[in-house]
Amino acid sequence: CRLAVALVTAFAVQDPSPGQEKPLTLELRTFNGTEEVTAQTRATVHRAGDRGEPLTHAIPANGRIERPLPAGIYDVQAIHERDGRVLNIRWANRLVLMAYPDEAGHHLEVINFKNGFGALQIRAPDAGRPDVAVYEAGKRDKAAAAPLQSSTYLLFVLRAGSYDLLMRASGKSSWHANVEVPLDRTRLWVTP
C-alpha cells in the first residue's frame, strides 16, 4: 500500500511528459483607440486557420481576460459590447504563443478596434517595474502617451510607427531611438 502511495505521489509531482507542456497564459487587452475596453469585451480563441470549433471562450474577470493555452498559433475574435449591443468585432490572426524566456509564461496581446494602432509592452529583465517614457521619434519635447500600469509591465497603446524611449534607472537616463510599434500587433521590449 505504501509503494502504491509513493508511486502515485511521485507521478503527481513530476513535470509533464514531453508531449504535455505546461500551459502558457494568454492575456488579452482590448482598446478602442487609446481607451481600454477590456471589461466590455468577450473573446473566442481558435486554432489559427480553423474557425469552426473554438478552443475556448473568454469573458473578463476583474477587467482582465486571461486564458491558459498550450504553445501554438491562434486566431482570436474579440467582441466589444455595451448595454447588450455589439459595438465592434475584430479578428486578431496568427497570434504566436510560445514559451519565450523574457515573458515568463505570460504573453500579452493587445487588440485594437480602431485602425492604425499598435502596442508596446515594456518589461524589466528583473521583473521590477521599469521607468520609461515614450516620445514620437525625433520629437523629445512631449511624451506621446502615458503608460498603462500592470504589476509586471508598462503598456503603451500608440499609433503604429517609430518612437524614442527615455529609460530611467539607478539615477541615470538613457535614450533608445526608433523603437518600432507594429501595426495591429504588440511588441515586447525588455529594458537593457
Residue 106's DSSP bridge partners are 25
> Global pTM?
0.84
Q: What is the mean pLDDT of the chain?
A: 88
- For 23, other C-beta atoms within 10 Å of its C-beta total 14
pLDDT above 90 covers a percentage of the chain that reads: 73
φ/ψ of 53, rounded to 5, equals -95, 115
Count CA within 13 A, CB hemisphere, residue 146: 4
The three cell numbers locating residue 79:
467582441
Contact yes or no for 39/63 (Cβ under 8 A)? yes
Residue 121: name the closest of 78, 39, 42, 185 by CA.
185
